[in-house]
Amino acid sequence: MTDLKTPPAEPETAVEPHAKPLAWPLGLAGVALVIVGSFLSWSYDGQILGDLSINFYPGGLQILAIILAVLALVLLLAEKGPLTKLGAWLDVTAGLRALGFTLTLYMLLVLVAISADSDGLINVNPGGYISLAGAALILASAWMMPLRHLRDMSEARLPAWFEILSIAVLMASVLFVAAYALGLEDAWSFILCLVFIAAVAAVLFRTGALTWVGHVAQRNRKVLTLSAFLVAFLFPFTQGGSDANMSIATQVLVFAATAMGLNIVVGLAGLLDLGYIAFLGSGAYVAATMSTSAFATIGWKPPFLVVMLIGAGVAATLGLIIGTPTLRVSGDYLAIVTLGFGEIFRFSMFNLDGNNGPNLTNGPNGVPGIPDLEIGGFNFGDVHTVAGIELGRFSNYYFLLLVLTAFVILVFSRLNNSRIGRGWVAIREDEKAAEAMGVNTFGLKLLAFAVGAFLAGLAGTIKAHQDGAVSPDQYIFLESAFLLAAIVLGGMGTIAGVLLGATILKLLPEKLRFFSEYRLLLFGLLLVLMMRFRPEGLVANRRRQLEFHEEDEQLAVDVDEEHLLVEEAK
């Protein structure tokens, strides 16, 4: 077992010459300037970016700049100073370059935001320019330092208690940043917070620390899972009863649970479904028509748990109906057929209005006035106080959706690690080869459609009550495209990746409303950049990552070792 105190030998070959003598002191000077500038006023106008006009009292965005400067100081001390043992494991220069670039971009955006929200750069106070100069010095210092070979962080071991503590600190940081970011009402402040998050993530990735975190998470999977759900459970308690933020959070969970069902179809079985939003809509319409709304068209009012099962069953039945005749085709043809199914569902909801067909959905008017859920005497529309903190209507639905998301994740992970999951992966990789090996390809593809539709139907039944209304316009093709984009962006076949992708694609449009006319352009640009620089997704499945990086021999070895560990665990 290797620990951080005994790093492996330095490789004989170097990528670049030795660092220039001025590199290290220049970096320290940059850190000092960023911190000093952040304690001074950045803006003359106190109404901009959360009031950055007070000297010696840093605002929120200034504190973020100070955090990045301290992170740069840690990297510099790991390069030359008391933290050199840590630096022997990390690619300090690559991390410092990423940090210098993102910190400089951060400060430039601060100046642009102040200028755009006021009368120009004349309203930028000296502190802003001083911090910008410091960021530029850090970037210049990083480019004077030589690159190192990245260590194999799988060999780095620390005591188990320290690894668990690291997971706890990481998840607490996620909770803090999420609460802070959602609390930002100004769009520029939110963008700058995203740049801060990107800076920290880039440093962790470029130094190799993220690889170590991945190995720690693999060794402490249960601890990570429990801590993640604990953070998610505590999130409403950080919002101070804000219904606006909790409304966004509930939408994210509905979107994530639905995307996880689509991940079975696309990520595991490799079936391109462009009409998946119809399954979510079918569950929502079942719940709406069986609710106690004055506009509900079905007289039977069973308990909600029964409604959930009926809604999920109807969605799964639709999956079987559309899958039976169409799953014998594949690729682009399957995509076209599923796209057509999504549109057929939407137009059917329009026509079931009593004039063109039976009156089930009230046509384009939909079913408004859906009351809040009431399960066992607990009304989800009431405000409840827990530990002195008010939890409103959306917080109640958030906890229910959190339970649903946990169930969906459990189903996905169990199926993924089963013989059925391995059959789906075989079909995705090469359907002809899988069929030749005796895999029932048609049956498994049909099962993927049915299970994915079932999970989407469950989410739809809750969504109907949370939204309070259901109409055909909610289930357009664009929503199916966003669900698919969340899977591609996050990482096909992964759990964390789909959750991350769903959060990004649902959260950004809500917080960046002034980009509403350019949302599709930004999403398209984001996907193009992902396909160019990280086609396997933000959180890549290791085997799928190997498909895009076949030349990486070390990755192939890691994948084989990971597979052996999973088999031994079984």
CATH number at residue 451: 1.10.3470
**Residue 194 exposure: Cα atoms within 13 Å on the Cβ side:** 14
**How many CB atoms neighbour CB 57 within 10 A?**
11
Domain finish residue from 176, 200, 224: 200
In a domain, 161, yes or no: no
Domain finish residue from 167, 200, 233: 200
Q: State whether 95 and 72 are in the same domain.
A: yes
Q: What is the dihedral of CA 352, 357, 360, 362, to 10 degrees?
A: 50
DSSP state of 537: -
Q: Which one, of 468, 121, 149, 55, lies nearest residue 288 by Cα?
A: 468
In a domain, 232, yes or no: no
Q: State whether 320 and 402 are in the same domain.
A: yes
Query: How distant is the alpha carbon of residue 545 from its chain centre?
Result: 18
| Residue owning tokens 């899988």 | 434
Q: State whether 136 and 270 are in the same domain.
A: no
pLDDT in tens, 347-404: 999 888 878 778 888 888 899 999 999 888 888 988 888 877 888 889 999 999 999 9
Amino acid identity of 481? A
In angstroms, the CA 399 to CA 394 distance is 9
SS3 (DSSP) at 23: helix
Q: State whether 425 and 283 are in the same domain.
A: yes
In a domain, 228, yes or no: no
Number of structural domains the chain divides into: 3
In a domain, 80, yes or no: yes
Query: How distant is the alpha carbon of residue 377 from its chain centre?
Result: 34
Q: State whether 421 and 441 are in the same domain.
A: yes
Q: Are strands 384-386 and 389-391 parallel, antiparallel or unpaired?
A: antiparallel
Q: State whether 372 and 269 are in the same domain.
A: yes
Q: What is the pLDDT of residue 315?
A: 95
Q: State whether 530 and 426 are in the same domain.
A: yes
Q: State whether 476 and 486 are in the same domain.
A: yes
Q: State whether 52 and 75 are in the same domain.
A: yes
In a domain, 133, yes or no: yes
Domain finish residue from 200, 233, 263: 200
Q: Token pair of 411, please?
A: 């189903």
Q: State whether 554 and 425 are in the same domain.
A: no
In a domain, 77, yes or no: yes
Query: How distant is the alpha carbon of residue 332 from its chain centre?
Result: 27
Q: Which residues contact 438 (CB under 8 A, 6 or more apart)?
A: none
Q: What is the pLDDT of residue 317?
A: 94
Buried b (16+ CB within 10 A) or exposed e, 210-249: ebbbebbbeebeebbeebbbebbeebbbbbeebeebbbbb
| Maximum alpha-carbon separation in the chain | 83
In a domain, 179, yes or no: no
**How many CB atoms neighbour CB 331 within 10 A?**
10
Q: What is the pLDDT of residue 383?
A: 86
Q: State whether 399 and 548 are in the same domain.
A: no
Q: State whether 533 and 469 are in the same domain.
A: yes
In angstroms, the CA 504 to CA 502 distance is 5
Q: What is the pLDDT of residue 565?
A: 47
In a domain, 514, yes or no: yes
Q: Which one, of 425, 483, 474, lies nearest residue 453 by Cα?
A: 483
CATH code, 82: 1.20.1440
Which domain covers residue 41, as residue numbers?
Answer: 2-155+187-200
Q: Which one, of 259, 422, 266, lies nearest residue 334 by Cα?
A: 266
**What are phi and psi for residue 518, nearest 5 degrees?**
-115, 15
Q: What is the pLDDT of residue 41?
A: 93
Residues in the chain predicted with pLDDT less than 70, given as ranges, are 1-19, 148-155, 241, 514-517, 541-570
Helices (H), 327-392: 332-351
- Cβ atoms of 376 and 364 within 8 Å: the answer is no
SS3 (DSSP) at 372: coil
Bridge partners of residue 374, in order along the sequence: 379
